[in-house]
Structure 1
């Protein structure tokens, strides 16, 4: 669990770093622009990290399934080599997807003064600036969004369905509470991230609202990564114990 949490923490740190500095510059400074190279870099990095998180959260659901449903075989199932392979698949698939999406988006000719009605370079608002028909791009984006959003969330729901079935058949109430407590943090993070990302990428184009899109994007690119450490910290007994011990030593 801590191996995947370390990957998620590093990912969220990079995710917010790729967006927040430029966002603060545009909010507080007189210049509200970003260079073409900066926009392309931000698009690639943020999309890569977002895609990676989609897969990584699904991998973490399998880890929780193995911990709750196969506790006696957990160390055999989730051995270090498998964990490293699962993390590598998450990172490679995320950056590969971003490379394809970024290339297709940046090759679309843009119109006017290239003003993006958004606070970051993202695929939907960039396609709004296109001078040509973007039906193919939108269809391709929809298919990829299904693969990276609906497929992992379906896998997560199946995993937690098995977890709930196993927990309900436990005879020990303390064991039930421990199992639900272990999975609670991950469920909260999954709900926040996938809920907003699905709304942003899987709604019809004709119903896409720029104002709503900006708020939703702000939520899953900045707010959710920022509160993830709090979610896991407040629900993790080991972390809370370490914090209490550190505070006690200081006092």
Structure 2
């Protein structure tokens, strides 16, 4: 795999010098899921489930990539103090990242809109395949366990994410999906406290104007290279590209 050059060395130095790095991860399987609103789901739950079904099956068969393993290696080395994931595919956890705040929910679950009960998403998908709207034993609709557009993020996850932003002094924001609020406020919290922001993504993101450094490259190329550079500066272990 090609190794990006522009900005990577400087990004690695910033990461190595930081006291606490917060990773804001906006990358994952299939653009992190279909863009379905809560109103759209409630108006046509079976249609919404069918829109999600292919992506959810893809997530269940997906494996972590180099970017996921790079984040895990930085965390294991004590460089990363927390990870906020904007993609509910669970691949950061599968790569070995321990401190993941799932701000946009989990693709592994279905959740009842009435009582909040969670069940494995496979149970709901079997109902969809049979042409039925998945329902909870309480009679409520089951929806995918991800946060839909127009739906608030989980309060406990947001509280934890804000707490990380108040402790860390550098945000490493990676991937194209970085502009949605409330996640986009996290770099602002760090910047207001005198911290820094490194953005890693191909093309334009909503955070580019705030960034101290922009590495314009695919995350699967750039993050492992930044990881290797930072750990090299610190004289610590590797594993930045996975097993």
Could you state the TM-score of these two structures normalised by the residue count of structure 1? Answer: 0.31
| Greater C-alpha radius of gyration | 1
Greater RCO (Cα-Cα under 8 Å, separation 6 or more) = 2
For normalisation by structure 2, the TM-score amounts to: 0.32
